[in-house]
Every structure is written in structure tokens, then in C-alpha cells.
Amino acid sequence: MKKVYQSPKGFRDILPIDQPYWQKIRQVAQEVAASYGFSRIDLPFLEETELFERGVGQITDIVEKEMFNLRTKGGDNLTLRPEATASVCRAYIEHGMKQWPQPVKLYYCGPMFRYEHPQSGRLRQHWQFGLEILGDKSPVLDAQLCQIAFSIFSKLKIQKGITVNINCIGCEQCRPEYRRTLVGYLRAHQNGLCTDCKRRLRQNPLRVLDCKEDKCQPVKKEAPQIIDFLCNVCNNHFKAVLEFLDALSLPYLLNTHLVRGFDYYTKTVLEFIPDGDVGSQSTLGAGGRYDGLISLLGGRPTPAVGLSLGMDRIVEYLKKQKIGFNEKMAPQVFLVQIGDLGRKKSLVLFEKLKQSGLRVAEAFSKDSLKSQFKAADQLGASYAIILGQKEAVEEVLILRDMQSGIQENIKLAKIVDVLKKRLKEKNKE
């Protein structure tokens, strides 16, 4: 029995029927990013495993459970990137971007890879569009990233129902006191924690607040809030971010238990969640400030902030909301050919019409007039040009109005001008 090959578990094909969504998201996101002064960076799919172990954190679900690791024949330990921020910071250090005018604003678009249980909104290969601002600590940048995300959502016709869930998780100055208080609380309630969180309690207690297990939710709900332990610097920074969001009239919700799943975050953390949806799989985007990551990876101390949008989830959300994008415009003219000479002439004419700026379609592989006219009808062409043996010899064409059925003979040399005139008249009707 022949084996039937399928895409690997958690991976998928993006078929032509869905491409208008993806093309629109890429187009809108790139145009908005460029309008705010961001430049594109393309990053390698593979990085040294240690980059993510140090950057994301050893005691995180991504590093512990979700990385695709491989060992090369030369003995190098590499990982398919599970996220891109650590890669951007590595590039910032490697290419001396500290010497560039600061802040450096970069955007990327591409697939990320995580080994996890595949389900709706959570695939092993998923696509992200990300924005990173490196080299400035101003809270206005945290708010501006939210503004950019809302601008993208608006241009994608997601006009309502997105809220920024936001929190401040402090810094190395104020977090230790909170950590001690949190550990004391969690130890007193550890019977209500899942097995993973009992281990996290010993190694990385803040990760308990990021747990998605139902068992842990009641304990998380009553846990101490880090916002009560912020130092003056973090408190002032967060207060300014919220004031900027108010000035921009952006909807936000203070979520005092939001910590995100990466160790590199400091101060601001945020998620974009549609109204009425809860849980990690409904999040359309997320990010935050990571002022210590570049120095952790060997660079000079450099404040930074960024966010990423989940393109797969945005596509699913657009479909759920019945928001469609049909970017494919109907052809203005369809070439119908008869016989070998007609086909040869049509090949040349096709290029001439296309270069003149007209939208042209054809079915050169078909001989039947009926099947060619059927294709012209299905595509919604305004006009058909019929070019047979006789017409090819006499250098004339038959121009047919597909709506009225009226036909007329036109000299081959004049067809472009005649078509443009007819189309202009039709647009005025």
C-alpha cells in the first residue's frame, strides 16, 4: 500500500484561498511600521541554543518543553527560533547597532517554531510580525507600540473589541522583595498548584503566574500583586505609560497578574485581547520592555521594548468576524485564441496588453471557444478579444463586450487605445 504523505503534526500549508488574508496582514503591517520609522530585518531560522536558554530563561515552558533543538555534524547545538526578540538583540550586538542613531527601530515577519500540543491558534510553526525599539528607555515608546498595533488592527477592519491587558513587573531593584512575598504565599497554598508549578515555586516562582492549568487559577487569583511592590522608577515609568495610553484614547485593562512567559521582561508587559475572549489562545499579540536582555547577551546595557502580533491568530479572528479581503481584481480583458497562429499572436499580444497596464487573463492551453468564454465569464472580464487564424493574418481582432455581447472588428495596432477608451467609458456608466 502506497504511503500518503501529509504535513508534519503542528505544521500546515497556507492554501491560495487563505492567501488574501496573509497578503493583507503583511502589507498593512509593513506599511504601518514603515510610516513610524521602522526598518525591516530578516533573521535566521536557526540560532545557537544558548541564545534562547540565556535570553528567554532556563525555567520557562519555551526552553524546558517547546524548543526544536538539533546538533549539527560539527557538534554545534542549534535551535529553530521559538521567538525573535533574542535574535534581534543578538543582531543588535553583532552588527554594532549601538553606534547607530538611537533608538533603532526594527520590524520582522516570519515563522517561529515551538514544540507543543497543536490546537487551534497554537501551531508548532506559527507566524509573527514583530516590532522592536532598541536604545531608549522612555515610556512613550511603550505606548507608541500599542498605538502602532491599534493602527494595524484598524486598517485590517478590526474596528472594535481589542483591549490592551497591561501590567508592570518591576525591575531587579524591586522584584526581589515581591519574589519573597510571592514565595511565602505560594508555599502556603502549594497543595493547590499543579506539578509543574510546585517545581517552578522552587526555581522561578514568577512563572507560576503564567501557568494556564485550571488547577492553579484560584491560587493565582489571590496571589500578591507586584504593582504593590514597585520601586519609584518602575512606578513612575508605568504611570507615564498609562497616561500616554489615556492621551491616545486606547482601551486598556490593568491586569495585575500578567507576567508573560519570558524571563527577559522588565517593567511593562502587555497583551492584545479581543473583548469577550479569554486565555492565551485568544491573544492577538503581546510584548513588553526588556531593558536587561542586551547586556545579558553580552552587549552594553541598552533599554528596549517590543511586541509581536500572531498572524495565524489574526487570520482566524478575521474569519470568525467574517472580515474578508479579496484583493484579486477581475481582469479587464480576456484573450480568446483559435488555432496555432492565433495562439502565437495571442502570446505576443498578451505581453503588449500587460505592459500597457491592463489586467489581462487567458486560457492558452484550451482550444475550445466555449471553455475559453466560460473562463472569461467566471473571471468577470469586461471584454474578450478573439484572435483566430483569419484575424491573425489580417492583423485585426474581434472585441466583444462580455456584458452586452456586442462585437466589433478592431485593427491590432489600435487595440490598446480602443480598450482604454472603452474601459473609461464603462467606468463612467
Band of pLDDT at residue 1, cut at 50, 70 and 90: confident
Binding residues: 83-85, 114, 128, 132, 260, 264-265
Q: CATH 3.30.930.10 in the chain, residues?
A: 16-174+230-320
User: What are the start-end ranges of the H helices in 291-414?
Assistant: 293-296, 311-320, 339-355, 369-379, 389-394
Q: Would you call 213 helix, strand, or coil by DSSP?
A: coil
Count the Cβ atoms, other than its own, within 10 Å of residue 273: 22
Q: What is the mean pLDDT of the chain?
A: 90
Binding residues for L-histidine: 83-85, 114, 128, 132, 260, 264-265
Q: Which of 88, 110, 87 is nearest to 26 (CA)?
A: 110
Out of 10-19, 207-216, 234-243, 328-337, least confident range: 207-216
Determine which helix (DSSP H) or strand (DSSP E) holds 185, and give its type and residue range.
helix 175-188
For residue 278, pLDDT over 50 is answered with no
Q: Which residue has the cell 511592590?
A: 229
Q: CATH 3.40.50.800 in the chain, residues?
A: 333-420
- Residue 258 · residue 292 · CB < 8 Å: no
Q: What is the pLDDT of residue 135?
A: 97
Give the C-alpha separation, 171 to 201, whole Å: 19
Stretch 110-122: mean pLDDT, rounded? 81
User: Is the dihedral angle over the CA atoms 243, 262, 10, 16 positive or is it negative?
Assistant: positive
Residue at 404: amino acid letter: S
304-310/285-289 β-pairing: antiparallel
Nearest 5°: CA angle at 21, between 18 and 22? 90
Q: What is the pLDDT of residue 205?
A: 85
Stretch 177-204: mean pLDDT, rounded? 87
Position with higher pLDDT, 421 vs 211? 421
- Residue 130 · residue 291 · CB < 8 Å: no
Count the Cβ atoms, other than its own, within 10 Å of residue 142: 29
Render 249-317 in DSSP notation, one character per residue: T--EEE-TT---S-TT-EEEEEEEEETT--SGGG--EEEEE-TTHHHHTTS----EEEEEEEHHHHHHH
Q: Which residues contact 322 (CB under 8 A, 6 or more apart)?
A: none
Q: Which CATH superfamily is domain 333-420 in?
A: Anticodon-binding domain (3.40.50.800)
Q: What is the pLDDT of residues 350-374, one digit of tens each?
A: 999 999 999 999 999 998 999 999 9
- Residue 59 · residue 274 · CB < 8 Å: no
Q: Would you call 358 helix, strand, or coil by DSSP?
A: coil
Q: Compute, in degrees rounded to 10, the torsion defined by CA atoms 178, 183, 188, 193.
A: 120
Cell numbers describing residue 322: 467574517
Q: Which CATH superfamily is domain 16-174+230-320 in?
A: Bira Bifunctional Protein; Domain 2 (3.30.930.10)
Give the C-alpha separation, 316 to 294, whole Å: 34
Q: Would you call 330 helix, strand, or coil by DSSP?
A: coil
Q: Which of 333, 281, 287 is nearest to 312 (CA)?
A: 281
Count the Cβ atoms, other than its own, within 10 Å of residue 298: 11
Residue at 193: amino acid letter: L
Cis peptide before 224 (omega within 30 of 0): no
- Residue 181 · residue 225 · CB < 8 Å: no
Residue at 370: amino acid letter: K
For residue 59, pLDDT over 60 is answered with no
What's the pTM value of the predicted model, to 2 decimals?
Answer: 0.84
104-113/266-274 β-pairing: unpaired
